[in-house]
Amino acid sequence: MLGLRKRHAGVRLPSAKTVADVALTEIPAPQNVYIPLQQHIGIAAEPCVKRGDRVLMGDPLSMSDHPMQVPVHASVSGKVRSITEGVLPSGRLGTIVHIENDGLYERRETSGRPSPHDYTPEEIRKAVHEGGVVGLGGAAFPTSVKLNPKKKIDTLLINGCEGEPVLSADHRAILELTDLMLYGIQAMQIATGAERVIIALEDHDPDGAEHLRKEAKGIAEVVVVPAVYPVSGEYTLIKAVLGRRIPIGGLPADVGVVVQNVETAVAVGRVLRDGWPLTRRIITVAGGDVERPGNYYVALGTTIADVLEHVGCPTPRQVLLGGPMMGQAVPNLDIPVVKGTSGIMALSPAEIDVREPLPCVRCGQCIAVCDKGLSPMMLLKYIQNGEWEKAEEWGLRTCMECGACAFVCPSNIPLVQWFKSGKATLSAKAAPNSKGS
Ligand code: SF4
Ligand code: SF4
C-alpha cells in the first residue's frame, strides 16, 4: 500500500465539476472537417493524400516512420477538398486537410488483437505511432516515444487527476471506457517494462476510485491524492505519489517513471484491441453560455463553432480552449478540435474576468503556491525589465504554466501570459539564427 508523500504547494480550488455526472454522448461530425497535420509536440508528418482523393474514416492523411512525426487520420469519410495553410489552435500556421464529409461514415477495415499480451513491446510502439496516439492530457507528446524510455522504468503512473476545475472527460473515460483503458494500461506496462502500475486520482473523485479499485484489481494500484492544484502536472504528481523529485530540466524517466493520462490509455487500447486510430476524443464543453454542457465525443477537425452550435451556444462571447486555469482564449471559432483539446468553455458575462491588473504589492502569495518552487514575482520583474539571463537563472523555463500563481495574485497580474511570452523570447534568443537581441 502506498502512503502519500509530503503535501505539495499549490492551491485548493473550489470544485466546479458540474458535468461530472453527465454520460458521454457524441456530437455528430459536421459537413466539413479541418484536420491539421501538426497536432503534437514534434514535426508534422508528410501528407499522403492529395486534393480530390476520397478517404475512408480511419485512413491516414499523413505518414512517417519518425517517432516525432505522428500521423493523423480522417475522422469522416469523404473528399479531400484542399490541403492548405491555416491557423492552428496554438495560434501558429500549419497545414490543414479539409475533408467534405459524405455522410456515409465508411470505415477503413481494421483488426486488432484480443489481448495486450499478444503484442511485443516493439509491436505496441509501432501500432501506437501508426495509430496517431499522443498524450491526451493536453501536452500531446508522441506516446510511442514515451513508451520507449531510455532508462530503466519501475513505475507506470496513470494520471487520472483532472486538475482543471470543470473538466471531467477523464472521469467519464474511467467510468465508461474501463475495459479499453485497462487494455491500454497493460499494453503500456509491457512496452515500458515497468514493474508496477499506479492509477492516481484526486480526492474529489471517490466514484472513480471505488470503481477502479474493483475493476483494476490485479492490474494497477489505485492511489488518491489531495485535489490541490496542480497535482495533475507530471512533476507534481510524481512527487505526491512516489516522493521522487525530477531534477531541473529532467524527465520522469530520470526517476524511473513513465506518466500517461487515462484517455491516452483508452486510445492505446483502441489502437491495439480494435486496430482503430485516433480520430476523435472526449471533450468537456461547459461555461455559463452553454445550454447543454456535457462530456462529448468530438471528431477531430470539427470546428469550435460546430461544437458550440451543437450544445446550444451559437453566439458565444468569450471561448477558452481547455479549462479555466490553463485555457487559452480562441481568436476565432473556425479553429478545429485537435488531439490536445481537452475542453471548450464558453463564458457568460459573470465568468469573464474584467478586472484590470494592478502593480505587484510583493505579498509573496504567488511564491507560496508555486509547486515548482519558483518565485513568480521575481520572474515577472526580470521579464518586464528584459533581464533575460536572470529570468532563465530563476527558472523561467521550468514554469509549467499551471496558473496557480495568477489565481492567487491579489493584483490580478496575468502572470502566465508574461511567462509564456518570456519563454518564447528565451527560445527565440536560443535559436541558431538569433542575433541575441
Ligand atoms: S501574488 Fe501578485 S502581487 Fe503578490 S507578489 Fe506575486 S505577483 Fe506580486
Ligand atoms: S510560476 Fe509557473 S509553475 Fe509556478 S505557479 Fe506560476 S504558472 Fe505555475
Q: Which of 358, 366, 369 to mutate to test the pocket of ligand 1 (most atoms within 8 A of CB)?
A: 366
Reduced to 3 states (helix: H, G, I; strand: E, B; else coil), residue 404 is: helix
Predicted local distance difference test score (pLDDT) of residue 14: 75
Ligand 1 mean position to 365 CA, how many Å? 6
Q: Does domain 11-20+111-274 have CATH number 2.170.120.40?
A: no
277/73 Cα distance (integer angstroms): 7
Q: Which of 57-71, 122-136, 248-262, 263-277 has the lowest mean pLDDT?
A: 248-262
Write the pLDDT tens digit of every residue in 370-383.
988 899 999 999 99
Reduced to 3 states (helix: H, G, I; strand: E, B; else coil), residue 156 is: strand
Predicted local distance difference test score (pLDDT) of residue 101: 98
Residue 8 pLDDT level (bands cut at 50, 70, 90): low
Ligand 1 mean position to 377 CA, how many Å? 6
Predicted local distance difference test score (pLDDT) of residue 27: 97
Q: Give residue limits of the domains in the chain.
A: 11-20+111-274, 365-430
Q: What is the dihedral of CA 162, 168, 174, 180, to 10 degrees?
A: -100
286 close to 293: Cβ distance less than 8 angstroms: yes
Q: What is the dihedral of CA 109, 177, 135, 393, to 10 degrees?
A: 180
Share of the chain above pLDDT 70, in %: 96
Q: What is the mean pLDDT of residues 44-64?
A: 97
C-alpha cell of residue 334: 473556425
Residue 5 pLDDT level (bands cut at 50, 70, 90): very low
Residue 437 pLDDT level (bands cut at 50, 70, 90): very low
Residue 432 pLDDT level (bands cut at 50, 70, 90): low
Q: For ligand 2, what atom is nearest to the CA of residue 400? A: 3
370 pocket-lining for ligand 2 (C-beta < 6 Å): yes
Q: What is the mean pLDDT of residues 229-246?
A: 90
Closest listed residue to residue 132, CA positions, set 185, 198, 46, 62:
62
155 close to 301: Cβ distance less than 8 angstroms: no
Above 60 in pLDDT, residue 1? no
Q: Whose CA is nearest to atom 3 of ligand 2?
A: 399
What DSSP character marks residue 117?
G
226/254 Cα distance (integer angstroms): 25
Write the pLDDT tens digit of every residue in 166-214.
999 999 999 999 999 999 999 999 999 999 999 999 998 899 999 999 9
437/418 Cα distance (integer angstroms): 19
Q: What is the mean pLDDT of residues 11-22?
A: 86
374 close to 395: Cβ distance less than 8 angstroms: yes
C-alpha cell of residue 182: 485497462
Q: Report the alpha-carbon angle 425-431-436, nearest 5.
A: 65
Q: Which of 362, 379, 407 to mutate to test the pocket of ligand 1 (most atoms within 8 A of CB)?
A: 362
Above 60 in pLDDT, residue 2? no
30/24 Cα distance (integer angstroms): 18
405 pocket-lining for ligand 2 (C-beta < 6 Å): yes
Q: Which of 237, 360, 365, 372 to mutate to test the pocket of ligand 2 (most atoms within 8 A of CB)?
A: 372
